[in-house]
Structures are given as structure tokens and as C-alpha cells.
């Protein structure tokens, strides 16, 4: 954990997040209304709050699975090396899949994960991210659905952490360091 002191300024309220999730679920329902069971794959750890709220709002039969991938560790910058720490428990071959990510930054993680999962031959695979930082993109990747597009700020809350802290905030907040560096 960094010893640099910081404060968190609210960027996106819990109420705004809930309203946006409701809108997104209508669009997801329209895309997958013909499926018998949608496999919703959450990318751990940052998406766990988002995926919980998302699947509760979806009016579809869903199965939930998780994959843990990271290019950050405890750092504020992506290492650009994506590592898979935990694989899916279930099979996705021939199934409809929705991959849920907390934030698309450089694009490396979702690009790597979708290629990794596409090799398992899902019938259809779509992606959703709560947050998108298009100004940081290094890989040509866009999620099918985006909750909010944000500027290049380091954010926490709603499952997103800084060195394993602040995941429990009900809102998205911008980290502002208070030291004189």
C-alpha cells in the first residue's frame, strides 16, 4: 500500500450508477432475449459489485462465473502484461457469454481475455464495462456496452481499488493525492 496520503472526490454517485445499470440491462436483454441461459463472466476482482447489481437487474436466465485477470497488481499503472490467476469453472462452448469488466483503460486486459475466451468457441460473446477511459487506449478494443466514459483519472469505489482499498465505496471516486510531490 502506498504511503502517499490521498482523498477521494466523488465522481459518479451510487444513484447514477444504479440508473445507468437499469438502462444497460434493457439493452442487454434486447441482445440476449433469445438465449436459454446467459453465462455472465465477471472479471475479478474489480467487477464483483458491478456484476452483482447487473445480474439482479437482468430479466434473463443467467449463470454466473468468474475469471481473475490482472495487469495492475497493486500499482496505479498497467504493466501491460495480462495474467490469468483464476479460470472459469464452467464450459462456455456453444453458449452465449457476457464478459463484465470494471474499467477499460489501456484495453490490454479485455482484449486478452476476449481472445482467451473466444478460443473456447462461445456461440456469441459480448462485453460490458462500467467505466471507459478512451484517452488511455493502447489496444484497439471497445466494449459493446459502457456505463460511463471518464477522463484519465485514477478512480476507486464500487469494486475498484487502490492497493486493495476503497472497493466498498458505493460510488466512483477520483483519487487525489494530498502530498506535495
Domain ranges of the chain: 13-72+81-153
pTM above threshold 0.75: yes
Question: In this structure, what are the phi and psi dihedrals at residue 56, rounded to the nearest 5 degrees?
Answer: -70, -30
Closest CA to 60 of 17, 30, 18, 93: 30
CATH number belonging to the domain at 13-72+81-153, selected among 3.40.1190.20, 3.40.50.2020, 3.40.30.10, 3.40.50.300? 3.40.50.2020
- What are the distances in angstroms from CA 169 to CA 22, 69, 154? 20, 22, 15
Would you please indicate which residues are annotated as catalytic (active-site) residues?
105
In tens digits, what is the pLDDT along the chain, a chain of 181 residues? 456 889 999 999 999 999 999 999 999 999 999 999 899 999 999 999 999 999 999 999 999 999 998 765 544 555 567 888 999 999 999 999 999 999 999 999 999 999 999 999 999 999 999 999 999 999 999 999 999 999 999 999 999 999 889 999 999 999 999 875 5
Amino acid at each position: 500500500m502506498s504511503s502517499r496520503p490521498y482523498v477521494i472526490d466523488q465522481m459518479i454517485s451510487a444513484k447514477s450508477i444504479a440508473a445507468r445499470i437499469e438502462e444497460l440491462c434493457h439493452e442487454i436483454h434486447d441482445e440476449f432475449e433469445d438465449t436459454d441461459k446467459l453465462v455472465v463472466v465477471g472479471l475479478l476482482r474489480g467487477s464483483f459489485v458491478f456484476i452483482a447489481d447487473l445480474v439482479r437487474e437482468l430479466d434473463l436466465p443467467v449463470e454466473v462465473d468468474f475469471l481473475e485477470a490482472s495487469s495492475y497488481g497493486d500499482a496505479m499503472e498497467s504493466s501491460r502484461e495480462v495474467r490469468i490467476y483464476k479460470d472459469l469453472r464452467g464450459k462456455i462452448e456453444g453458449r452465449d457469454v457476457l464478459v463484465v469488466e470494471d474499467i477499460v483503460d489501456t484495453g490490454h486486459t479485455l482484449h486478452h481475455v476476449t481472445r482467451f475466451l473466444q478460443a473456447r468457441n462461445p456461440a456469441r460473446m459480448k462485453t460490458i464495462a462500467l467505466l471507459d477511459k478512451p484517452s488511455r487506449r493502447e489496444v484497439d478494443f471497445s466494449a459493446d456496452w459502457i456505463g460511463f466514459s471518464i477522463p484519465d483519472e485514477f478512480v476507486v469505489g464500487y469494486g475498484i481499488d487502490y492497493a486493495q482499498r476503497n472497493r466498498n465505496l458505493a460510488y466512483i471516486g477520483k483519487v487525489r493525492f494530498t502530498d506535495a510531490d
